[in-house]
Amino acid sequence: MRKHTIRNGLRLILAALLLIVLASFYHVGIADLFSMSEGAEMRLYRLGIFWAAAFGGYGVVLAAFGLVLPAEPRDAQVRVLPIFFMILATMALFFYLLVSSVNEPPQPERIQPGDTITI
């Protein structure tokens, strides 16, 4: 088992999970921060999910090859458990955000350019 390769694969899987969280739950906030249009916001969401799938797929393949390949002497001091716990924490964050997004009341409709606000 080549721990160095497994750790690199797990890092890519963690990056994919973080991209999924950002693209799924915070794409509106990111789009508002950069003053993006709704089309650009959808493009941001699609690109986030695409790159998350690409990173995650490559990370899974890399981790699987790390399990199959023979160990090297430099793998003795490599720690895999901390990155594994970070992946578990990110998955817990994803499911927490998923459940809280279902339970919260619907957001008011966005104000379009040219709409008036009555106070």
User: Dihedral of the CA atoms 75, 79, 80, 86 (nearest 10)?
Assistant: -150
Beta-carbon count within 10 A of 94 CB: 16
User: Higher pLDDT residue, 106 or 27?
Assistant: 27
Q: What mean pLDDT is reported for the chain? A: 90
83 close to 13: Cβ distance less than 8 angstroms: no
Give Cα 44 distance to the centre of its chain.
13
Q: What is the largest CA-CA distance in the chain?
A: 70
105 close to 32: Cβ distance less than 8 angstroms: no
pLDDT at 9: 96
Q: Is the pLDDT of residue 104 over 80?
A: no
Amino acid at the residue 117: I
pLDDT at 47: 94
